[in-house]
Structures are given as C-alpha cells and as structure tokens.
Structure 1
C-alpha cells in the first residue's frame, strides 16, 4: 500500500512494544496513520516503537497499561481520545500465553489469560466503536493463533480466549458492517521473533512454504485489513502460516 493510504487515521495497537505489535505499528505509520502504542511492562520497548512510528512520519502516543484491567483500559481510552479525538483502527494484539497442565490451572491462571485476550479486546472495541460509528468508517483486527485454534497443549485458557475472540469478531462484523466498519481476525502460524535472524529448521520443515514467517508478514496482512481496499472483507479469519493446516 502506498504512503498516505491511512492519512488522518489513528490506530490503537495493544501489545505493541515488540515483535508483531511493533511491526504493525510501523507499517500503519508508513501508511500515514497515527499510532497509540500500548504495552503492560516494557515502557522502553514501547518508546522505541513510538520512535519508529515517528521516524515513518506519523504521530505516536505511548500509553502503558494492562489490557486485563478495566481501570487501565478506561485510562488508556480517555488519553487516546483526548489526544487524537477518535481512534479509527483497533488492533487487539495483547495476550498472555502461560503453559500449565489443565489440572493445575487455577481460577487466577484462567482469569489472567481471559481478561487480557478476550475481555480486553471487548473493552477496547466497546470504547472505540462509537467514534467509528459516528464517522461511518472503522477497522477492527483481532488475533487468534494457529496453536490456539488447533488446541493449545497445556494452554487451555489460551485456546478458550482465542476462540472467544473469534466469536466476538464474527458478532461485531455482523452488527457493524452496515455502518462502514469491518472486523476480522488474523491467525499467525510459525513466526520468528524480531531478535532471531534464522529459521528454526525443525519448525520450518513442517511449513509447506519452507520457511517461518516474520512480524512483517503479519503486519502486511493487518495493513491490508486496515486499508480502504479491504472494505468488502469482514467477519473472516485470515491464516498467515505458510500453508500449514489451520
């Protein structure tokens, strides 16, 4: 997509201090979109993402907070709207992925995952959708994950949360499509982290494409979903996985 495709728009990207979230933030900035950068712990990483957004010619606002906390989400939303007036694109990327046998999973373990990935996405969408409805345009991009959709080994809360987000996405697509708002979900496959230069041979061998994806591959997909060109694409799960079975 050419620079300026999203000029004048603002995106909120949760979990954008590293990897996929950072790549999405920079790609949207390259399209002219202002970005609200969010993370729960590593403020320095979020500031680096913001620096890269600004280097791409867009405005950035760092708002730290836990997407699993209702109070934090309320504070983040208020600050984002005060700065930019409206948020046109919501990318719910924040998640927790602890590994624990199901029979050892406590209520607290369960809630910690569900609160961030599912309830946090619900709260962000509920908060920013009124502005989208008012302007007759908006994009919601949520995240699943190949392992979560298959069934996460020793990660039942992760699979449950991501299936819930998939249901939320489908419901939002039905309700808000008539208002010019799309809602889709991206399901990444085997993705290298930004700090790893080479594929893991054991993982790459299982991918029909023969190589692992990168955060930029996911960012490119999100950029298209956020663009005006994707106006007729809603309620879909986009598997970005090099051809592995979804």
Structure 2
C-alpha cells in the first residue's frame, strides 16, 4: 500500500472550493488526511472538492461560512471538531483582494480585507490549537501572496493584512514549537487558475522560469509542510514563484 504520511490526521482548508485551496485539499487527502472543505458562497464548488477528497480515499466535511465572520468560524470549528475530534492541519487560504486607490478606500473596504486575511488566522488558530497541543502535533500553514509582501499597488489592506499574517505566524512558531507544532507561510507567485489552459504571456514573461505556476505547485509545498518530514521547518516564509523574487 502507498505510504500515507498523514493517515489519521484532519485538515481544515479555508477557501477550498477551487484553485489553490482545492489543490491543497486534494494533496492532503492523497497523503491520508481527512479534510474539512470550506467556501463562503459557492456550496456546489465545495461539494465538488469534497467528492474529490472522498475519491482520494479520505473523509470530507463541507463547512460553509464567511472566514471574515467570527461567528461563522466558531460554527465551522464546532462542526469540524464534532466530526473529527481535532483539526491537526490548519491551512488559511481564504482571502479578499479588492483593488482601490488608498484615498478612495472606506473603513468597510479596510475591514473587509483585514477580517478575512488576518483576523481569520487569529480565530482559526485559537479554535484548533488546543487540540494540536493536546496531541503534541500540529501544522499551521498560512498563505500570503508575493505582491502582498512586497507592497500591493492600490491594495493597502492586502499588504497590511499579509504582513500581519507573517508576524502572527512567526509568533505562533516561537510559542508552539516546543509542543510539536509548526507554523509557516507559503507565498505563491503568479499562479494559473485551474480552469485556464495556458499561461498569460505577459505575466509569464516576468517570471525567470518562463511559465506561470499551477495550483498543484502550491499544494505540493503545503503537503510537504504538513508532513512529518517537515518537523524541523517552522517560522519560515517559503516563496513558490518561479524565481520572481530572490
């Protein structure tokens, strides 16, 4: 039988109805992990991901909800823990990326991004870390886009939130390393959507490899960070971007 390094584990992947989130869910399932699939509005897409997880031989639970709403996160966490007991692998992938000049931005615009991209990481970590601590094993994997870390033109809240995620991840990695829990950030580069059949030539030309990444490229890194093989990797931001930043 193929080795399943994550057999007996459960993962929660926010924003896993499509693209990078779906690919991460499937990679973790193929490694043996059960998966809690999340989406904010497209339940059909989340159900499709869950069916793919089951086809990979793992259990799946669809938990719909807005990751910017603490009440939704509490409800999702309760459902996940009721079914699986613990969530061992937390992947914070959900995000909002509105583009607007800074001086035209409203308070609602600001908080709409911060709630999903930063506060959700706080709330999900508080929800699932106790179970990880009890088992002396856990993985927290947060997503932060390349441009968000560099500084996002007409995307101030995105940059601010993702810098905050990086700081929070480093703090968690320091506090919980002694508990067998790692916390890392993946910073994707320019990734082709799963429905695209070819690269955007203009975007691909800016990447040293000459081609855009695919969701599976990010998912493969997430699966590694979730695995026992990555037990000595924590507090790191790992860029998966074809060499676009060095």
Give the shorter-chain TM-score range.
over 0.9
What pairs with 1:99-178 in structure 2 (closer than 5 Å)?
A: 99-178=99-178
TM-score, normalising length from structure 2?
Answer: 0.99
The separation in 1 between residues aligned to 2:153 and 2:192, in whole angstroms, is 20
Q: Quote how far apart the aligned CAs of 1:4 are.
A: 1.0
User: Which residue of structure 2 aligns with residue 226 of structure 1?
Assistant: 226
Q: Give the Cα–Cα distance (whole angstroms) in 1 for the partners of residues 204 and 70 of structure 2.
A: 39
Question: Quick one: distance in 2 between partners of 1:97 and 1:59?
Answer: 31
SS of equivalent residue, structure 2 residue 45:
helix
Unaligned runs of 5+ in 2: none
CA contact (8 A) 1:3 1:30 kept: no
Q: 1:187 is paired with a residue of what secondary structure?
A: strand
Misfit runs of 4+, over 6 Å: none
Alpha-carbon distance in 2 for matches of 1:208, 1:101:
30
- The Cα shift of 1:3 comes to 4.1
Equivalent residue number for residue 183 of structure 1 = 183
Question: Is 2:54 the partner of 1:49?
Answer: no
1:197 CA drift (Å) = 1.1
Deviations 1:44-103 (A, max 9, x none): 000000000000000000000001101100000000000000000000000100011100
List per-residue Cα deviations over 1:117-149 (Å, max 9, x = no partner).
100111001110000000000000001111101
1-structure distance, mates of 2:15, 2:121: 11
In the other structure, the counterpart of 2:96 is 96
Q: Return the offset for 1:159.
A: 0.5
2:232 is equivalent to residue 198 of structure 1: no
Q: Tell me, in whole angstroms, the C-alpha distance in 1 between the residues paired with 2:36 and 2:114.
A: 23
What is the Cα deviation at residue 112 of structure 1? 0.4
- Any stretches of 5+ residues in structure 1 without a counterpart? none
